[in-house]
């Protein structure tokens, strides 16, 4: 059974309820050698993926988004790890609510150099850059952004992705044999990179 989270407001379906604009998104959770395929931005880290277009299935949408954002090909889309339903006041229509349902899938990508990204204007402004990132580093970056910036100055996805990063990291640690438990943070070499360029295999 897939875990589902609900964030933000609860939608009231009564007669006086505001109009609800609903969108669906798919996200790829790709791991390799302890790293996560993530998109670094000017405000934090996010999982690759995006909105499902009319007529698309989840796998087709995820394949397209990985190609556009990372220049990589989806190899497989396996278990759905998590569903996050968010509801906030719409910025597009006064008085309406915007509900986004994001599906996070355990996925793999083909091991080959990335192609040129094909970003829209908003993504380009955010500086989306694919990286094989240390998940703990990504948690710290997003956590710092949430703590240091006023809520209205931060996209709502930053807090959501922070929660999902923590969830994925906790699952990974829970399934790791005791003999592979991570070393204390103080023993980590100061020169260890937090990210690896996407054009090369992590590790």
Mean local confidence (pLDDT), 9-15: 65
The CATH number for 133's domain is 3.90.79.10
Q: Provide the pLDDT confidence category of residue 112 given band limits of 50, 70 and 90.
A: confident
Residue 201 domain-assigned (yes or no): no
Asked whether residue 194 is assigned to any structural domain, the reply reads no
What is the chain's Cα-based Rg? 18
Indicate whether 150 belongs to any domain: yes
Q: Which positions ≥6 away from 172 have C-beta within 8 Å?
A: 31, 135
Three-state SS for 38? strand
Per residue in 29-53, pLDDT tens? Answer: 999 999 999 999 999 999 999 999 9
Domain tally, the chain: 1
- Residue 95, domain extent: 3-7+20-111+127-174
79: which strand partners?
none
Question: Is residue 78 in a domain?
Answer: yes
Give the pLDDT confidence score for residue 189 in this predicted structure: 31
33 assigned to some structural domain = yes
pLDDT, tens only, 145-195: 999 988 788 998 999 999 999 999 998 888 765 444 443 333 233 333 465
User: What burial letters (b/e) apply to 10-43, b meaning 16+ CB within 10 Å?
Assistant: eeeeeeeeeeeeeeebbbbbbbeeebbbbbbbeb
Does residue 99 fall inside a structural domain? yes
Beta-carbon neighbour count of residue 61 at 10 Å?
A: 20
What pLDDT shows up at residue 184? Answer: 33
Distance CA 179, CA 32 (A): 19
Q: What is the 3-state secondary structure (H, E, C) of 96-157?
A: CEEEEEEEEEEEEECCCCCCCCCCCHHHHHHCCEEEEECHHHHHHHHHHHHHHCCHHHCCHH
What's the pLDDT at 138? 97
In angstroms, the CA 78 to CA 188 distance is: 32
- Is residue 104 included in any domain, yes or no? yes
Instruction: Give this prediction's pTM.
Output: 0.84
pLDDT score at 12: 64
């Amino acid at each position: 059974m897939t875990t589902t989270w609900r964030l933000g407001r609860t939608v009231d379906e009564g007669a006086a309820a505001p109009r609800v604009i609903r969108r669906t998104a798919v996200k790829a959770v790709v791991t390799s050698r302890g790293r996560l395929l993530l998109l670094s931005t000017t405000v934090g880290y996010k999982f690759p993926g995006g909105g499902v277009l009319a007529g698309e299935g989840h796998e087709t949408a995820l394949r397209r988004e990985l190609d556009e954002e990372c220049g990589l090909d989806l190899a497989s889309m396996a278990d759905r790890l998590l569903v996050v339903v968010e509801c906030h006041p719409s910025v597009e229509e006064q008085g309406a609510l915007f509900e986004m349902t994001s599906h996070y899938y355990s996925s793999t990508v083909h091991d080959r150099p990335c192609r040129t990204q094909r970003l829209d204007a908003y993504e380009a402004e955010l500086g989306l850059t694919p990286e094989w990132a240390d998940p703990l580093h990504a948690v710290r970056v997003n956590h710092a952004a949430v703590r240091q910036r006023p809520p209205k100055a931060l996209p709502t996805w930053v807090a959501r992705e922070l929660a999902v990063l923590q969830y994925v990291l906790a699952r990974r640690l829970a399934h790791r044999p005791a003999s592979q438990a991570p070393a204390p943070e103080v023993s980590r070499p100061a020169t260890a990179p937090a990210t690896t360029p996407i054009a090369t295999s992590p590790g």
